[in-house]
Each structure stands twice: as structure tokens, then as C-alpha cells.
A and B are shown apart, each in its own frame.
Chain A
Amino acid sequence: MTEEIIIAGFGGQGVLSMGKILAYSGIMQDQEVSWMPSYGPEMRGGTANVTVILSDDRISSPVLKKFDTAIILNQQSMDKFEADIKPGGTLLYDPNGITRHPEREDINIFKIPGAALAAEMGNPKTFNMIILGGFLNVKPIVKIENVKKGLEKSLPERHHKLIPLNIEAIQKGIDSVENVQVL
């Protein structure tokens, strides 16, 4: 199994940390992982994206042009990455702020109202974990218990009290995915 994922959105949405938790979860189930951010003179409000690969085998390129799954969290990223999903691949997006919805007919498309659900939970910081939950519904490539272990490993101990809230957000995401187009 190899899953090549791009997560793209605004800086500040938790794109990079979501990728990190996903990668750590892969390590917890003995997979090879890579996490390659777009880095540069970027800041809150700018665009941010990260390529995450989980594989049972040695990972070749951490830099990719085509992805199995794109997790898209703003319009700029939709414009940039919709075309880069492999035929038969998967697009998961949050419709919040999206003015042009995806148009591809050869991919699976799912929606998750992450921003709305985070507001409902009263904590906008849970946004990225809701999205991660959505992804795990569509592609259950890592087990929840390994995500929990991944959170324990990647969060500093002083933040461990927040793990139950994060797991709750992931569960909310798992339960809130809407099929748009399933091949």
C-alpha cells in the first residue's frame, strides 16, 4: 500500500500539523512516511501545502506531481491541485469559501463542512482534526488507535490533555462526510 496525499489550504488552518499527525500515525503502524512542506517566506493567511506519503515500502520521491488524494481547504488550492489528482483518485474538500466547485468527472469527490463543524464545537482549532476524520472515513489507511498514538508522540506533554478533544473532532469528521461523486 502506498498513499500519496496533498493537503492544501491557508496558513493557520493547521495543514502542516494535520500532515504531521497523519505521518506519525503511519509510523505507529510501522509504515514508511514522508512529509514535505512547501516552505518559503510564507505567513498566516498565505497558502500552505504539504505532501504526505504513507507506504509499506521504501518511499521514492517525496516531491510529487500526481496524487492519490487531495485534501483541499481553499479556492486557490482547488485551482492549483484539482488537475493533479490521479484518475480514479480522491478529492476531499471543505465547501467553506469555495466559489468554484470541482469539475473532474474521473475522480471520487467528497465534501466535509469542517469550518462549520469546528464553529459548532466552539473551537476553531479542531478544524484540521475534523478534516483528518473526514479523510479517514474516505480512506481508512490508519487506525484511530494509531492516530491517538501519533497525537501522543507529536504533541508536547503539556498539550496531552487536549487529545480527547482532538479524537472527538476526528470522530465528528468521520461521521460528517458527504458523497458528491463516487465512481
Chain B
Amino acid sequence: MGDVRLMKGNEVIAEAAIRCGCDGYFGYPITPQSEIMETLMIRKPEDETGMVVLQAESEVAAINMVYGGASCGKKVMTSSSSPGISLKAEGITYLAGAELPALIVNIVRGGPGLGTIQPAQSDYFQAVKGGGHGDYKLIVLAPASVQEMNDFVDLGFELSFKYLNPAMILSDGVIGQMMEKVELSDYKPRWTDEEIEKISGSWATNGKKAGGERNISTSLDLDSAKQEVFNHKLQAKYRAMEENDVRFEKIACDDADYLFVAYGSSARICQKSVELAREKGIKVGLLRPITLFPYPTKQIQEMLGQVKGILSVEMSAGQMVEDVRLAVEGKVPVEHFGRYGGIIPTPEEVVEALEEKILGK
């Protein structure tokens, strides 16, 4: 076994960033994710790996620093919580529009507005459907454990460089604030200038090479015909993500008559609800989307011959349930259960909701 520790999800994001060879973190503090930057500041990775950690003057500045770093082919990231991500939304769509890789972490809190500092999952629409303007998609990863907070930092960078598209880790105060056993990743060195040239030389703006063309990092094209062609390219990229990079987990689905669909901390709660419901003789399974975009639509559809009803469980008023319904196309009943505004549902409440809304008791 490697380096096993007891750590908070937020602390692990910071540690994983250092270990995966991240070049720079630019952020602005907000509860419940401030431990990410605090941990980085305490660890001082600049002395160790050369990674830059900078508290910007605002969220808007931070995301534009990310744009700058990403344009140079660097592995750069930022983190925030809901209201801060709204402030970053403009920069995020610019990153998508300029086809730049970057990692954005959202440790969601209850909203709307300044809302509360307690956990929620009410930023699903913002992460998956847009948030910023224009036809763009983020690669959205939803960790359900502190271990996945570690693993998805590296995975997020890997996917974002694979597709030249920003990736988001969408988590919440439960996973961010809780401690679990985690096996930290081994250190990977930061890319050298030569490696960056090899990996990203075709687009990174690291200076004009003798005899070569200039690379330009922009999301602007005033020629509509060209802009449409560019949009076709983006859409083809999103379809490729749907084809190749859907991630999900199935728990107790083999003999399930009913299904929970839940991600992140709600999926953890539903795992317990599966145990409790099965003690009562209700055969329910759990399908946990790990990528929220691309969404495991096909995997939900594959369950339709088997299950008689689906309960989508989220800490929101009902956002992901729309994607479950799109997948199901009315073939079986789909209902939503959620607590929100910073309230975490108990496993017992979820079982009651299953009985009431799906079993019709």
C-alpha cells in the first residue's frame, strides 16, 4: 500500500493536485472549500515541485489566470463553491470556446444567491447544462468518496487534455468536509517545456517558432460561417466523450426491481438506503453516474426491461431527474426525491420516499 492517510476531501484535492504535477492553482476563498487553498498554502508546493499557488483578488481574476496558464499548455486549476463558480462562469465558457484544458472544482453549497454554507447538489444544471453562455459542455466528474477526490484530480486533467476541454469536479460540502481513509497517488513530475511542446505545441501560445505560424488562443470568430464550422467541431468532440468516456457504478442492480439514480454524496446515502430497503424485502439497486457529462443514458436505458420504477435522489429540487426522464422516455415511472437548502437527507427518508412515490404505499 502507498501513502494511506485520514484526510478531508478538500485537503485531498490539494494534495492530489501537487502529486499529479499540476503547474498552478488560482483561487479565492469561500466556504465550504477554503481548505483546498489553505492546504496548498501550508504545503508550499512551489518549494517542492515548482507549482504556483496564488490567491487572486477575485474569482473573476482567478479564472482568467487559469485561462492564461492553460493557453501556455500548463496544467492549471481553480476551485470555488457555488456563488464563486457563478462569478467564474464567463471565464469557463471562454475556456471551452478556446478549447483549453483546465480543472475547475466546485464544492457545492445551498443556493440560490449566497444561500447557505451547508452541502447541496443544486448546481447540477449549471455544471452540466451550461452556466456560461453558448453551446458548450464541461466534462463533469462527481466523486462519492474522499478516495475519488484524489483520483479525479488526475483523471480530470487527463480527460481535459485528451479533449482540450475544461473539466469540472462537482462535489459538495459532505465529501469536501468529511474525512475518510485515502491512498494518495504517487508523485508525477510537472511537465518540462519540451514535454509541453510535444503534448500541446500545436496550439499552446508559447512564442512563435522560427519558420512556424503563430498559435492564437481565442474564442472569437466574427465570420459566422467559420463559427458554425467550429461549433460542429465542438459538438463532434462532445459526442466522442459520450461514446468513449461515460463512467458509472452499479450497486445491487442484478436482481433489482426498482432503481435509485444518485451521484456524489447522495449516492453514498442511497447505498445505505439500498441496505435498509432490502432488509424490508424491497429489491432496489443503485446506479451512480460518475460522469454527469457525458451522462450514463444508455446504462439507465439498459435497466428498463428489468426495473418497475426509478427514484432520482439529489440534494436539489429536481435537476438530474430531467436527464433520467430523458433517458427513460416515459417507459417506467420516474420520480424525484430531494432535500435542499443545505439539508442532507437521511437514508431512512430516502427509503420512505421510495415506498411512497414508487411502490405506491
Q: B-contacting residues of A (Cβ < 8 Å)?
A: 20, 23-24, 27, 32-37, 39-41, 59-66, 153-154
Report the stretch among B211-219, B302-310, B342-350 that lies at the interface.
B342-350
Inter-chain pairs besides A23-B6, A61-B273, 15 sampled, C-beta below 8 Å: A33-B180, A33-B181, A34-B179, A34-B180, A36-B174, A41-B117, A60-B269, A60-B271, A60-B274, A61-B268, A61-B347, A62-B174, A63-B265, A63-B347, A65-B348
User: Is B272 interfacial (CB-CB < 8 Å)?
Assistant: yes
> Across the two chains, which residue of chain A brings its CB closest to B179?
A35
Interface hits, B153-191 → A, CB 8 Å: 173-174, 177-181
Assess the A27–B178 pair: CB atoms within 8 A.
no
**What are the residues of chain A within 8 A of B118 when measuring CB–CB?**
40
User: Is B257 interfacial (CB-CB < 8 Å)?
Assistant: no
Partner of B271 from the list A27, A39, A61, A66 (CB cut-off 8 Å) is A61
**What are the residues of chain A within 8 A of B348 when measuring CB–CB?**
65-66
Assess the B268–A27 pair: CB atoms within 8 A.
no
A-B contact pairs, 6 of them (CB 8 A): A27-B181, A35-B179, A37-B177, A60-B268, A60-B271, A61-B273
Assess the B179–A61 pair: CB atoms within 8 A.
no
**What are the residues of chain A within 8 A of B269 when measuring CB–CB?**
60-61, 63
**What are the residues of chain B within 8 A of A40 when measuring CB–CB?**
117-118
Assess the B6–A36 pair: CB atoms within 8 A.
no
Assess the B179–A20 pair: CB atoms within 8 A.
yes
**What are the residues of chain B within 8 A of A65 when measuring CB–CB?**
346-349
**What are the residues of chain B within 8 A of A60 when measuring CB–CB?**
268-269, 271-272, 274-275, 347
Assess the A35–B271 pair: CB atoms within 8 A.
no
Q: Mark B254-295, 1 if CB is under 8 A from A, else 0.
A: 000000000001001111111100000000000000000000
How far apart sit A81 and B280, CA to CA, in the bound complex (Å)?
Answer: 24
Min CB gap B290→A, angstroms? 16
Partner of B4 from the list A27, A59, A61, A154 (CB cut-off 8 Å) is A27
Q: A-contacting residues of B (Cβ < 8 Å)?
A: 4-6, 32, 117-118, 173-174, 177-181, 265, 268-275, 344, 346-349
Min CB gap B5→A, angstroms? 8
Assess the B177–A39 pair: CB atoms within 8 A.
yes
Min CB gap A132→B, angstroms? 16
How far apart sit A23 and B174, CA to CA, in the bound complex (Å)?
Answer: 17
Assess the B6–A20 pair: CB atoms within 8 A.
yes
Assess the B346–A35 pair: CB atoms within 8 A.
no
How far apart sit A64 and B174, CA to CA, in the bound complex (Å)?
Answer: 12
> Across the two chains, which residue of chain A brings its CB closest to B173?
A39
> Across the two chains, which residue of chain B brings its CB closest to A51?
B178
Min CB gap A84→B, angstroms? 10
Q: Given A34-B179, A39-B32, A60-B272, are A27 and B346 also a contact pair (CB < 8 Å)?
A: no
How far apart sit A60 and B275, CA to CA, in the bound complex (Å)?
Answer: 9
Min CB gap B12→A, angstroms? 13
Partner of B178 from the list A41, A62, A66 (CB cut-off 8 Å) is A62
How far apart sit A37 and B6, CA to CA, in the bound complex (Å)?
Answer: 14
Q: Given A20-B179, A35-B178, are A64 and B272 also a contact pair (CB < 8 Å)?
A: yes
Min CB gap B1→A, angstroms? 9
Partner of A61 from the list B5, B117, B272 (CB cut-off 8 Å) is B272
Q: Given A27-B6, A61-B271, A61-B272, are A35 and B180 also a contact pair (CB < 8 Å)?
A: yes
> Across the two chains, which residue of chain B brings its CB closest to A41?
B117
Assess the A34–B347 pair: CB atoms within 8 A.
no
Assess the A23–B179 pair: CB atoms within 8 A.
yes
How far apart sit A159 and B274, CA to CA, in the bound complex (Å)?
Answer: 43
> Across the two chains, which residue of chain B brings its CB closest to A53?
B180
**What are the residues of chain A within 8 A of B347 when measuring CB–CB?**
60-61, 63-65
How far apart sit A76 and B257, CA to CA, in the bound complex (Å)?
Answer: 42
**What are the residues of chain B within 8 A of A64 when measuring CB–CB?**
272, 346-347
How far apart sit A36 and B32, CA to CA, in the bound complex (Å)?
Answer: 14
How far apart sit A61 and B4, CA to CA, in the bound complex (Å)?
Answer: 21
How far apart sit A32 and B5, CA to CA, in the bound complex (Å)?
Answer: 11
Assess the B173–A62 pair: CB atoms within 8 A.
no
Assess the B180–A63 pair: CB atoms within 8 A.
no
**What are the residues of chain B within 8 A of A63 when measuring CB–CB?**
174, 265, 268-269, 344, 346-347
**What are the residues of chain A within 8 A of B349 when measuring CB–CB?**
65
How far apart sit A61 and B265, CA to CA, in the bound complex (Å)?
Answer: 8
How far apart sit A24 and B6, CA to CA, in the bound complex (Å)?
Answer: 6
How far apart sit A35 and B182, CA to CA, in the bound complex (Å)?
Answer: 12
How far apart sit A152 and B203, CA to CA, in the bound complex (Å)?
Answer: 49
Min CB gap A114→B, angstroms? 23
